[in-house]
A and B are shown apart, each in its own frame.
Chain A
Amino acid sequence: MGEMQELSTFWFVTIGAVKVVAVFTVVMGVVAYMTLAERRVSAFIQDRLGPNRVGPFGLLQPIADGLKNVIKEETMPGTAAKFHFVLGPALAIMPAVVTIAVIPFAAPLPTPVGTVDMVVADVPIGILYILALSSLAVYGIVLSGWASNNKYAFLGGLRASAQMISYEVALGLSVIAVLLLVGNVTLTETVWKQQQLGMWFVFPLSLAFIFFLISALAETNRLPFDMPEAESELITGYHTEYSAMKFSMFFIAEYAHVVTASALLATLFFGGWDIPFWTGDDMFRHESGWIRGFDEAGVPIPATPSVLITLLTLGAFCAKTGFFLLLYIWIRWTLPRFRYDQVMHLGWKVLLPGALGYIMLVAGTMLVLDQLEVPFGMLYGGALTAVSGITTLAFLFFVDRDRVIAGAHRRRGAARGRGPPAPRAGGPAASS
């Protein structure tokens, strides 16, 4: 068994501080370049070039933007509640940047003073910490919407509270399926269990992944769920009255949420830092050493942490997170905004019962598999994949073809009784 050298308290604190600074810096850097990536990718989607003037390929644009935001005038509406107005952005940005702390981003790194977990804080409550803190973000938005004393900002804040509370439920319930399979709430164990299962959770828990993806889009207030901002309806919603750096803080908060959500999606459903089709990187803290897995007799197979594995797994994690960041941008510039009642409908009448039913299904399947004493591995995952795949197809069939989210025409038809909608004057149906 690969013996593990425990970190002394001094090194634990020192390395912990280094990890905090490093991760915070990287996240802020990613956030800054997300703003650039958003503008460049949206430009490419619209056959434009996007900002490419500041530095090579526009790479210094975030610095120019930051500088501009720092030196711009801070406006304060005369009728605003001043204390809460200032408090709002601070409350919005705080949860956004601290949630990333529990996400493991690479395999453990061996150092001369001991093996270092590549996670800022491997807290035992893992996912619960993320759920608790990410739901705090809504306070910043609601508070700033209310404190602005502006009807649009207020409406934005109201919408944010309704939407985020609704989707928090679906988000939590879709995570429960993962927790059932992992048997723990720490994210390090989530990664480890995916390595043990031999497949990423996106396959055995495909429907949970879809629920989580939709809820995460809604939680981060990104299109197609950007109800609180809704430029065409509410100016810019809750941050209408904010300018300069206070506005920028909302911006940073939004992107930090996106980064966290992407990292979380990668960790929960795409194996975290796991490199696919290679068991050499599997590593987990077991009793007093690092193990790769258990052999037939249940004896742990030791694993040796190495710098190379750490770097490779870091690369895998970054690639997966980067894919979801791109997906976020891509979705934003493809789909139009939902109507407000459609958002509520989707959240409460589709995702909530769907996620509840899915938990029952996963739990039932796992109970059957455990009763049959199927070992936790490929067969176990395969059976779950089959069940989930059928359920996912059924769900998509059910949601598709406006059975659930109907367009305006459907409601008009329904209001006048069953059957096709009444022909509109001048419409093509009128002539037939």
Chain B
Amino acid sequence: MAISVKVMRRPEPGRTSYMRATLKGMSLTFKHMVRPTKVTLEYPEEQPDLHARWRGTHRMEVHADGRPKCVACGLCPTVCPANCIRLVGGEDDQGNRYPIVYEIDEFRCIFCGMCQEVCPVEAIHVGRHFENAEYTRDRFVYDLDRLMEQDHPVTLLWDPSDPRSE
């Protein structure tokens, strides 16, 4: 897109009417004052519409039997640009890999969503969620149980055939 510059036209001497300009301004502000439609979103009562690709705090998908879907492949800590994921993988007696430790430091996280994109088994997701307030700082390191407890909707990945996710 070409850069456009809006040129402010200076009023020419003797061609501007300050009285009329003032009255025009007053009538404009009055119209807005009595206009019933306001832009304010009354937040706790009204929730904002989050976009389908909104990237918020994480969520770990769970199997039907309650195990995490994560196979501890190590791709997400590798791809993470903020280095906020700590993963220690283990292997059970059938040879299935599973995470022993899986922690995400939500303070370090930059919410790029690359962990979700890279995950081969669709286990870790970023979510459509933003109400994350806590009383202490250490509550912001989400461990595996915490990630599995999250039940907010997850983010839709970008689809080139539908670039605006409509």
Which positions in A face B, CB cutoff 8 Å? 41, 43-49, 330-331, 333-335, 396, 399-403, 405-407, 409-410, 413, 420-421, 424, 426-428
Contacts and interface: CB of A to CB of B under 8 A. Distances in A.
21 contacts: A41-B33, A43-B40, A45-B33, A46-B32, A47-B35, A49-B42, A330-B33, A334-B22, A334-B28, A334-B29, A335-B25, A396-B19, A400-B17, A400-B18, A400-B19, A401-B15, A401-B18, A421-B10, A421-B12, A426-B7, A428-B7
A334, A399, A428: residue with the most chain B Cβ atoms closer than 10 Å: A334
B39 interface: yes
B14 A401 contact: yes
Given A48-B39, A413-B13, 20 more contacts: A43-B40, A44-B32, A45-B29, A45-B33, A47-B37, A330-B30, A334-B22, A400-B19, A400-B20, A401-B15, A401-B17, A401-B18, A402-B13, A402-B14, A405-B18, A409-B13, A410-B13, A424-B10, A427-B7, A428-B9
A318 B74 CA distance: 74
Nearest to A329: B33
B11 interface: yes
Given A409-B13, A427-B7, A402 B29 contact: no
Contacts of B9: 428
Contacts of B67: none
Contacts of B35: 44, 47
Contact of A47 (B11, B13, B39): B39
Q: Pick the 9 closest A-B CB pairs, nearest first.
A: A49-B40, A334-B29, A400-B19, A44-B33, A45-B29, A409-B10, A334-B25, A45-B33, A48-B40
B16 A401 contact: yes
B63 interface: no
Contacts of A331: 26
B22 A399 contact: no
Interface in B19-53: 19-20, 22, 25-26, 28-30, 32-35, 37-40, 42
Nearest to B30: A330
Contacts of B25: 334-335
A236 to B, nearest CB: 23
Nearest to B18: A400
Nearest to A403: B14
Contacts, number: 75
B26 A334 contact: yes
Contacts of A396: 19
Interface residues of B, number: 28
Contact of B10 (A47, A48, A399, A427): A427
A334 to B, nearest CB: 4
Nearest to A421: B13
A45 B27 CA distance: 11
Given A331-B26, A335-B25, A407 B38 contact: no
Most chain A beta-carbon contacts within 10 A, residue among B12, B33, B40: B33
Interface in B80-135: none
Nearest to A40: B33
B11 A409 contact: yes
Given A406-B13, A407-B10, A413-B13, A399 B40 contact: no
Given A47-B37, A49-B40, A407-B10, A399 B30 contact: no
A329 to B, nearest CB: 9
A407 B7 contact: no
B18 A402 contact: yes
Contacts of A403: 14
A281 B57 CA distance: 69
A330 B29 CA distance: 8
**Residue among B16, B17, B29, B34 with the most chain A CB within 10 A?**
B29
Nearest to B14: A401
Contact of A420 (B13, B32, B39): B13
A47 B26 contact: no
A82 to B, nearest CB: 40
Nearest to B15: A401
Given A330-B26, A335-B22, A45 B14 contact: no
B29 A333 contact: yes
Of A43, A401, A406, chain B has the most CB atoms within 10 Å of the CB of A401
Nearest to B13: A410
B18 A399 contact: yes
Contacts of B15: 401
Contacts of B33: 41, 44-45, 330
B13 to A, nearest CB: 5
B32 A402 contact: no
B44 to A, nearest CB: 9
A401 B32 CA distance: 26
A399 B13 contact: no
A43 B34 CA distance: 11
A41 B38 CA distance: 12
Contacts of A335: 22, 25
Contacts of B11: 402, 407, 409
